[in-house]
Amino acid sequence: MTNEQKQQVRDALVRFVNKFDTQARAAENLEGISTSTISQVRNNHWELLSDRLWYHIARQVGFFTGEWQAADTSSYLLLRILFSDAQHYGMTYGIAIGKGLGKTFTAARYAQENSNTYYIESNEQMNRKSFMTLLMKEANMSYRSGVPEMMQYFADNIEQKEEPLLIIDDAHKLKDRVLHLLVLLSNSLAGKAGMIMMGDDTLRTRIIDGVRLKKVGYDEIYKSIGRRFITLNSPGPRDVELVCNANGLYHEDVVAAVKEECNNDLHAATTLIQMHNHVRMAA
C-alpha cells in the first residue's frame, strides 16, 4: 500500500471514529483494531504497521483500496453536486435516475468520503419501525421505543451534527407509510439536515400520479421535494470510456468493444472491465 493510500485510509478512519462518542467505542466496532492502533494511525505514527493491518483497517472503514476507481461520469459528477448542495444547505431533493448509471456506487462512495453522511439502501420488506431502526444504526444511535419517539430521538440528535445528510437509495421500493415517515423527518429537519430521496423513474411517476389522483399523503411527499424531480435518464457519450480509462483500460479497440457490448449500462460495463482486467493480469 502506498503512502498516499495510507493517508486516505487514515482520513477514512478519522471519519469513522468521529461517528462515535469516544475512540474506545469506535474501537469496539472494529474487529482486531485497538485504540492504540487507532491513535498511531491518526497521529501518523504508522512506520511499524504492516500492509496487512492497513488493508484490515481499510476494509472496515469503507476505504476503496484501488480495486475499483471512480470516474467523472456525467451522473457521478451531478449526483455529487446534488449531495453536496443538500448537505451544505439542509435541502431535500427527489432524484429519479435510470438503471445502470451508478447511483448506488456514487451514493455509497460519497457517504464514505464525507462526515455525517448516512446512507440507507431501501427494500420492499421495510416497515416504519425497521426503517427507523436501520437509520439509527447507520447513525450509531440506539433507542428502543415506538416509531414517533424514535423519530424524535433521531431528529434531536442528528440536528446536533455539523451539516448532516441522509441518502435514501431505492426509495421507489418503500411502502407508502415509510415514504410518509420520510416527509415527517424532512419537515422536522428542514434547514438542519439534508435529505436525498433517490430511486428509479417509477418513484417519480408513482408520486406524481399519487398527487394527480389525490391519494392520501402524496401531495405532502411531493411538496417536501419542492414539487419537482431531478431526472437522469442516460449516460453521457464518453461515460463508458471514462470508466474504462479510470480502471486501466485504454486500448481503443477494447474500449469500443466494452461500449458496444454494455449498451451504455455502466453496471454491465463494470463487469466487462473487470473481466478484461482479470484476463490481462492472468496473461
Q: Are strands 230-232 and 194-199 parallel, antiparallel or unpaired?
A: unpaired
Residue 277 lies in a domain: yes
Placement of cell 496473461 in the chain: 283
| Domain annotation covers residue 66 | no
273: which 3 cell numbers? 472491465
| pLDDT tops 70 at residue 84 | yes
Residues 191 and 116 in one domain: yes
pLDDT range class, residue 46, cuts 50, 70, 90: confident
Query: Quick check: 1 pLDDT over 80?
Result: no
Q: What is the pLDDT of residues 177-186, one digit of tens each?
A: 999 999 999 9
Tens of pLDDT, residue by residue over 7-30, are: 888 988 998 898 888 999 999 988
pLDDT greater at residue 210 or residue 59? 210
Residue 269 CB burial class (10 angstroms; 0-12, 13-18, ≥19): buried
Nine cell digits for residue 145: 421505543
Selected residue with higher pLDDT from 209 and 55: 209
Structural domain includes residue 69: no
Burial class (CB in 10 A: 0-12, 13-18, 19+), 229: buried
Would you say residue 49 lies in a domain? Answer: yes
Tens of pLDDT, residues 211-264:
999 998 999 999 999 999 999 988 889 999 999 988 878 889 999 999 999 988
Task: Please report whether residue 68 resides in a domain.
Answer: no
The predicted structure's pLDDT at residue 99: 86
- Kindly state whether residues 227 and 248 are assigned to the same domain: no
CA distance 188 to 247: 42
Mean pLDDT of the chain: 89
Number of domains within the chain: 3
* Region of poorest pLDDT, from 135-139, 154-158, 262-266, 271-275: 271-275
Scored b (16 or more CB within 10 A) or e, 22-38 reads eeeebbeebeebebebb
Question: Is the model more confident about 4 or about 84?
Answer: 84
Confidence of residue 40 (pLDDT cuts 50, 70, 90): very high
Residue 71 has pLDDT above 80, yes or no: yes
Instruction: Check whether residue 224 and residue 275 sit in a common domain.
Output: no
- Give the residue numbers spanning the domain of 136: 74-232
Check whether residue 7 and residue 95 sit in a common domain: no
Is residue 265 situated within a structural domain?
Answer: yes
Residue 56 lies in a domain: yes
| pLDDT band at residue 189 under the 50/70/90 scheme | very high
Cα separation, 182 vs 134, whole angstroms? 13
Task: With beta carbons less than 8 A apart as the criterion, state whether 94 and 205 touch.
Answer: no
Residues 43 and 122 in one domain: no
Amino acid letter, 14: V
Q: Are residues 51 and 139 in the same domain?
A: no
Q: Is residue 67 domain-resident?
A: no
State the pLDDT at residue 77: 95
Per-residue pLDDT at 123: 93
Pairwise CA distance, residues 105 & 69, whole Å: 11
221 and 92 co-located in one domain:
yes
Please report the pLDDT score of residue 23 as a whole number: 92
Helix (H, G, I), strand (E, B) or coil at 107: helix
Taking residues 164-170, report their average pLDDT.
Answer: 96
- Per-residue pLDDT, 283: 45
Measured between its terminal Cα atoms, the distance across the chain in Å is: 23
Helix spans in 62-195 (H) = 74-89, 103-113, 128-138, 147-158, 176-188
DSSP run (H or E) holding 97? strand 92-97
d(CA 239, CA 264): 8
